[in-house]
Structure 1
Amino acid sequence: MAFSQLSGPDGHDAFSSNAPVYPDGLSFASLRPLRIGWMTGPGFGPVDPEVAAIVRSAAEALQGPGVVVEHVSIPALEQDFALDVFNRIHVMEMKPAFAAATAGRSPDELYKMAKTMLSLPDTSMSDFIDAEQAAERLRDGFAEYFSQYDALITHVLPIPAHKHGVDRFVIDGKEVDATYLQGATVPLNVTGLPGIALPFGKSREGMPVNVQIVGKWHAERTILHIASLLEEVSPVKGAHPSL
């Protein structure tokens, strides 16, 4: 009911989606089984093997009567790295707003995200158009995937929960900066797909690891249903941080 009220443009946000009212193609009383794919790459950047194993275990926990689970790949994510596409598009869409919001502020008052955004060079018009075309290819790639599957299970972060203030990480033997932590979530920003995250395990050090359920456009009902199924079998259901 909440999503039915929130959907569609509100007259103030130029990026809001003008969603038609149509069924998402899945009735949970239907005899058609749910088809769910899972992946941790390639296309998302490096992923810690421990995280990848938890994503796989989450997907396999859903396998059963009425649910078909398969390991998948989405070639479009390998052709166009979504994080690069995001940076080229959103520098020019967000930088003017950051500049206006921080006008008159000293650098010491600015959060790292604002400093980073303002320090990035402007995207040229040709690069911006190339990035928009790449975003369309990513949408097409996901559209092809969702013509066969109802949902996708991935990681949220490529590592377990980490300390604050860390700028660089070594993930599966590769050193990357902190922006790479967005590798599996930025594709949703670029394409407008809905996603939901929930905890499904802990690292060897006891740090939480979340998985992400991605659905087709305007199919929040489907991923909320799958999340409820996954929550019931989560090995960390009801867990709380230690005092």
Structure 2
Amino acid sequence: MHPYELTLTEAAEKIGSKELSPVELAESVLGRIEAVDGRVGAFAAVTADRAMADAKRAADDIAAGNYRGALHGVTVGVKDLVDTAGIATTSSSKTRADNVPNADAAVVERLSGAGAVLVGKTHTHEFAYGVITPTTRNPWNLDHIPGGSSGGSAAAIASQMCHGAIGTDTGGSIRIPSAACGTVGLKPTYGRVSRRGITSLSWALDHVGPITRTVHDAALMMNVLAGYDRADPGTVDEPVPDFTAGLDSGVKGMVFGLPTNYFFDNIDLEVESAVRAAVDVLTGLGAQVREIELPMTETYMSVEFGILVPEASAYHQKLLREKADLYTDDVRVFLDAGELMLATDYIKALRVRTLIQDGWRDMFEGLDAVLAPTLPSTAARVGQDTFNWGVEEPVINAYVRTSAPGNLTGLPGLSVPCGLSNDGLPIGLQILGKPFAEPTVLRIGAAYEAANPSAGKVPTLG
């Protein structure tokens, strides 16, 4: 086995036991990037010199007895929305081609403090404003999209070009590409992880979290990423647990809600079958399932876009007036539309979101989690604009539709692979939990992953 093939957990164990050097690991990963990223296009920039310097520093520290923990010497990729001091952060946009931050984002500070090795910046749909990531292809089938907006991060993990990656999620942008690429993606509770130094799409809806190969990998990353940051007023001063503790405790006695509405409306039959089979696996492990009805479902999409679109336009207002011609057409259309929205409609959307949150809080009484499909379909083909469920639905609407509840409520959401379609494309199971219940959500994901015969599968890229 090549070192790049190891999961983050396996790589950490080998580095911790000094069976593997961080330098060997970095060299293997950089070789993998060179071999396959020309076809996948996951990276906006590869930081080979920085990676080797980080790896050598990690090797020296560990040899001197200064081992910092599970991420020490392990390779990571960071979405190109996240500031990295001295390294261009372009948001995959021509408008910021020359943007070189002078300080790291909070999550990069934490990764660096833990001794992680940065191998590059991963592509995003321009400014995270989309679900396609047009620069990148899906490693399972290069004729398909990786999802977005964190498509580069998910494609890099699926292609074994790094061991952990950072994504952001405003309308599903961690969970969407994770489901499309067969990776594990965790959107933490709103306020659990600092967003300082990350280009915003929508202040009220933005989250940041890990994309990895396994649930345990995600838990290890959360142990580093989570925590209060007084420089980000959106973070919450909530105690940070060990996210790996109790991860293998199983789901016996837990109670899960399975929606009878919304999530299973307008869905590919293969996806529905795979998700329901995953629910059966969890009940076979001792959990109970209760049918539930989601509240106010007719408002979700209008409220999601009613908040996101004007906030994004407010953020981009100055840059849009200076460099409008450098934006891609699809993003510029949304930004122009946001300038036309009424402040009264925006305020109404914020107020309705509060009602949605109240309704979900009441719905969660007696439940440990809600189970649902991450996406209603597998990865769309490159250039595909719509899905047909008997009615045409734009790809962006279909993907955001099943992801937006997690952003509107701010609840933690985990996507784990739950099989492949007949075309060999990944399908994702979504696990939504109570506020700050990431340990429970991860525990459920780990239980399913351990019982899933297809867990750990990766695409064949040669």
TM-score normalised by the chain length of structure 2: 0.46
Structure ranking higher on relative contact order (CA contacts 8 Å, 6+ apart): 1
SS in 2 for 1:135: helix
CA change 1:30–1:234 in 2 (3 A) is closer
The amino acid that maps onto 2:433 is G
Q: How far does residue 201 in structure 1 lie from its aligned partner after superposition?
A: 1.3
For 1:161, give the aligned amino acid: A
- Cα pair distance change 1:190/1:55, threshold 3 Å: same
| Percent of paired sites with the same residue | 28
- Alignment partners' CA distance in 2, 1:193 and 1:209: 21
| 2:316 is equivalent to residue 98 of structure 1 | yes
Equivalent in the alignment of 2:141: none
Q: For 2:444 and 2:378, how far apart are their aligned partners in 1?
A: 22
Q: Deviations over 1:78-111 (max 9, x none)?
A: 4x2x12101111222221212334553353x323
1:118 alignment counterpart: 335
Instruction: Show the counterpart of 2:426.
Output: 208
Change (3 A) 1:13 1:112: farther
Q: 1:240 to 1:21 in 2, by over 3 A?
A: closer
Q: Is the 8 A contact 1:151 1:214 kept in 2?
A: yes
CA distance 1:3–1:143, shift in 2 (3 Å): farther
* Stretches of structure 2 lacking an aligned partner (at least 5 in a row): 1-219
Distance 1:7 1:144, change over 3 A: farther
Q: 1:137-184 deviations in whole A, cap 9, x for unaligned?
A: 1101210122121111111111112223322221x2220112221111
Contact persistence 1:40–1:47 (CA under 8 A): no
SS in 2 for 1:38: strand
1:13 aligns with 2:232: yes
Q: Quote the Cα distance in structure 1 between the aligned partners of 2:264 and 2:346.
A: 21
* Residue matched to 1:182: 400
**Alpha-carbon distance, 1:226 to partner:** 0.5
2:254 paired residue number: 34
Decide whether the 8 Å contact of 2:412 with 2:435 is kept in 1: yes
Q: Greater shift after overlay, 52-61 or 156-165? A: 156-165
- Residues 160-213 of structure 1 show CA distances to partners (whole Å, capped at 9, x for unaligned) of 12223322221x222011222111111111111111111111112221111111
Secondary structure of 1:63's aligned partner: helix
Aligned to 1:148: 366
Quick check: 1:75 aligned with 2:295? Answer: yes
Q: Which of 345, 348, 352 matches 1:127?
A: 345
Rounded to whole Å, the distance in 1 between the matches of 2:310 and 2:446 is 38
The equivalent of 2:278 in structure 1 is: 58
Q: Distance in 2 between matches of 1:30 and 1:159?
A: 28
Write the distance in 2 (CA, Å) between the matches of 1:44 and 1:238: 26
> Partner of 1:199: helix, strand, or coil?
strand
- Residue type matched to 1:11 in 2? R
Q: Greater CA radius of gyration, 1 or 2?
A: 2
Cα deviation, residue 31, structure 1: 11
Q: Secondary structure at the match of 1:129?
A: helix
Structure 1 stretches of 5 or more lacking a match?
A: none
Q: Let me know the Cα RMSD of the aligned residues.
A: 2.8
Q: CA deviation at 1:45?
A: 5.5
Find the residue that maps to 1:152 and give its secondary structure.
Answer: strand
Cα distance change of structure 1 residues 215 and 31 upon mapping to structure 2, 3 Å threshold? closer
Three-state SS of the structure 2 residue aligned to 1:74 is coil
Seen in structure 2, the aligned counterparts of structure 1 residues 110 and 40 have a Cα distance that, compared at 3 Å, is: farther
1:70 positional shift:
2.8
- Provide the aligned length of Structure 1 versus Structure 2: 234
Task: State how far apart, in whole Å, the 2-side matches of 1:38 and 1:112 are.
Answer: 39
CA distance in 2, matches of 1:96, 1:56: 41
Check 1:205–1:139 CA distance in 2 against 1; reply closer, same or farther (3 A cut). Answer: same
The secondary structure found in structure 1 opposite 2:323 is coil
